[in-house]
Amino acid sequence: MTLHSEKLSPPPATSGVRWWGNSFVRVILGRVGQLAVLLWGVSTLLFFLLRFAGDPALIMAGDNATSEFVDEIRVQYGLDRPLFVQYFFFLWHAAKLDFGYSLASGLPSLDLVLAQLPWTIKLSGLAIMLNLLVAIPLGAWLGQAPERRTRNAVSSLVFILQGTPGFVTGLLLIQFFAVKLGLFPSIGSEGTLSWVLPTLTLTAFLAPRLTRVLASNVAEAMQTDFVRTARAAGASESQVLVRHALPNALLGTAALAGSQLSYLLSGAIITETIFAWPGLGLLLIDSVRTLDFPVVQASVFVVACFVFFVNTSVEMLFRILDPRLKQRTK
């Protein structure tokens, strides 16, 4: 039998400097390289997808415009040039973080994105924290003894919640808490209370999934040898859960929580639309509707950077928390 303690044993003190000096820095540098490739790939894909999605000159000109008028608009915005010329022009400027000006408003597109990004980040941060606060205890409780009747019922409820679309939850929350009870605002971001319903909506969408994964991991951990050993040593059920099963189960769910944060940062579009939240999701929807290429490109660029940052942070965290990963990369 492979002893659990062997898997988690810390590296010898002498290897610590080498690990940080070589492996960790190497990983970070590798990630920066990956980020550059990722940004190039995402930008390129988006550039061509957007061009095939439609002609912004037509939207700017309107459906009453003559073809000559539309052509003049294409010339004005450089849309008449060959696609690859437009692409290299875009890449050159994107490398300098210059995404051009919004076709709709004529304002710098990156500034438009940065102005709305904080609202999405703050809402995402709140939602992910509430998500963890709900999912960790609930998942641990459900996973501890999944066969019990009460927990089975709660498990079914969590399953139903997982299948409920976010917009349905959002509209129901508004109807009950804003329209019927008048406790919270249904739109906007004015005041602390206005954060409640959007945060709850996002949490209601995220928490069931995390809860179920954690419950499954905890249930699995409860059957392992080290848990049996802990029981034999006289640990109470709560001690077994909190000290032995849960920490192991959390390792797996941390990855999911990281990907959920990435999902939120990429724009909780529906939630932002329903609550008229001034975040990136709403900006993206408006920009796509009007084929405002520069704003869409700047938005996706910024989101890709943040998602990468979050994913890399989670991975680094894993390396610190789980020495097995460190040993594999040696």
Partner 1 sequence: MQVNAGQPKKRRTLIFRGLIAVMTTALFVSGTVAQAAPSPKAGAACSKAEAKVTVKSGKKALKLTCAKVKGHLIWVAAIPKVKKPVVAPAKLGGNFRVGVAALPTGKGNPFVGIGTPGIYTMAAIYDSLVTINEEGDLVPSLATKWNQTSDTSWTLTLRDGVTFSNGEKFDASSVVSTLSYLTQDPVGAKTIVAAEVNNISSVSGSGNTVTITTKTADSILPRKLTVVWMVAPKAWQTLGAAGYALTPIGTGPFTVTEWGATAISLQANKASWRSPKVDTMQVLQIPDPTARIQALQSGQIDLAVQVGPDETSEVDRKKFQVVYDSFPQVMSLAFITTKGDSPLLKKEVRLALNYAINRDSIVNNLLGGKGTAANQGSTKLVFGYNSNLSKYPYDPTKAKALLATAGFPTGFSISADVTVGSFPADADIYQAVARDLKRIGVTLLLRQIPFSEWLGLYSTNGWKGQAFGLSWNSNTLDARRAIGLFSCSGPGKFFCNEDMTPVLTEIDNASSESARKAALLKAAEINYNNPPALYIVGQVDINVLGSAVKGFKNVNRYFPYEKITVR
Could you say which of 129, 153, 160, 325 contacts partner 1 (CB under 8 A)? 129
Stretch that binds partner 1, among 28-36, 60-68, 147-155, 205-213 (CB under 8 A): 60-68
CA angle 252, 255, 259 (to 5 degrees): 150
Q: What is the DSSP letter of 245?
A: I
77 lines the binding site for partner 1 (CB under 8 A): yes
Q: Which of residues 94-113 bind partner 1 (CB under 8 A)?
A: 101, 104-108, 111-112
Stretch that binds partner 1, among 23-31, 142-150, 212-220, 306-314 (CB under 8 A): 306-314
Task: Give the count of residues interacting with partner 1 (CB under 8 A).
Answer: 97
- C-alpha closest to that of 57 among 47, 66, 44: 66
Backbone angles phi, psi at 208, to 5 degrees: -60, -40
Could you say which of 20, 25, 26, 76 contacts partner 1 (CB under 8 A)? 76
Q: Give pairs for 104-112: CB < 8 Å, separation 24+.
A: 104/287, 104/290, 104/292, 104/295, 109/292, 109/294, 109/295, 109/297, 109/298, 110/298, 110/302, 112/283, 112/295, 112/298
130 lines the binding site for partner 1 (CB under 8 A): no
Site string for partner 1, 141-180 (x = CB under 8 A): --------------------------x---x--xx--xx-
305 lines the binding site for partner 1 (CB under 8 A): no
Residue 62: count of CB within 10 angstroms of its CB: 9
CA angle 313, 278, 167 (to 5 degrees): 85
254 lines the binding site for partner 1 (CB under 8 A): yes
327 lines the binding site for partner 1 (CB under 8 A): no
Site string for partner 1, 25-54 (x = CB under 8 A): ----------------------------xx
